[in-house]
Amino acid sequence: MSWLLFYDWRRLFQLPTKWVNTFGLAMAVIIGGILWGVWGQHNKAIQAQLLDELALQQQSHLMYLRKLKQLDDQKIDYRDRYRKLAVSVPNPQSKTVVFNYLSSGLTDSSMEISSWQWEQQQHSQHLVVDLKGNFSEIAQFLRKCVRFSEVVTIKELSLSRHSIDTTKIDGRLRLSFFTIESAESQ
């Protein structure tokens, strides 16, 4: 296209240099104007899209600011809330309920429980379980124990293998439960 603008038209049409230069300049201005108009329309579409996105972001920003202000306006007394939770007595669970919950998953597994013993100590009650099985089954049993609502902590967990070649694991698990006396002492 540049050869059209800068071709020596004067030689071809025998025109004066001034006319040829004026014609070339006029063509360049017209082509530049057309390109500028097309570019401007393209930019307007992009600018409108960006303005819409900015408006949506500002709306969500204002919504989050309102939520933060509402959360900031709420005055929560964590000390009082903690005291209420510490003093509230948990629902007493019978040993049968605990046994039924924990043993419900053992019907399909090869894991065996060799010992199931309850121990009562001052302000706490413990369940001591001796397990034998492979690691994945014992891990599944531990997950089930932790999900039980009355378990406070796993007080003790020990796993041992007799040999590197075997997949059988012996385990001992001590679970600590809330008792009414422990809740009243707090």
Backbone φ and ψ for 121, nearest 5 degrees, come out as -125, 175
| Mean pLDDT across 35-40 | 93
Question: Cβ neighbours of residue 103 under 8 Å, at least 6 residues apart?
Answer: 113
Under the banding of pLDDT at 50, 70 and 90, the label for residue 31 is very high
- At residue 183, the pLDDT reads 45
Structure tokens at 51: 């303005």
- pLDDT tens for each residue of 159-169: 998 877 778 88
Give 152 or 172, the one with higher predicted confidence: 172
Q: Which domains does the chain have, with CATH numbers?
A: 2-70 (no CATH), 90-185 (3.30.70.60)
Compute, in degrees rounded to 10, the torsion defined by CA atoms 147, 150, 154, 157.
Answer: -70
Give 128 or 179, the one with higher predicted confidence: 128
Under the banding of pLDDT at 50, 70 and 90, the label for residue 18 is confident
pLDDT at 185 over 70: no
Under the banding of pLDDT at 50, 70 and 90, the label for residue 16 is confident
Top-confidence range, 9-13, 17-21, 56-60: 56-60
Give 61 or 142, the one with higher predicted confidence: 61
A 10 A CB-CB count for 59 gives: 10
Determine contact, residues 179/125, Cβ cutoff 8 Å.
yes
Determine contact, residues 141/131, Cβ cutoff 8 Å.
yes
d(CA 27, CA 5): 7
- At residue 2, the pLDDT reads 57
Label residues 29-46 b or e (16+ Cβ within 10 Å = b).
Answer: eeeeeeeeeeeeeeeeee
- pLDDT tens for each residue of 74-83: 777 878 877 7
- At residue 121, the pLDDT reads 75
- As a three-state string, the secondary structure of 74-121 is CCCCHHHHHHHHHHCCCCCCCHHHHHHHHHHHHCCCCCEEEEEEEEEE
pTM tops 0.85, yes or no: no
| Mean pLDDT across 109-124 | 83
d(CA 68, CA 159): 48
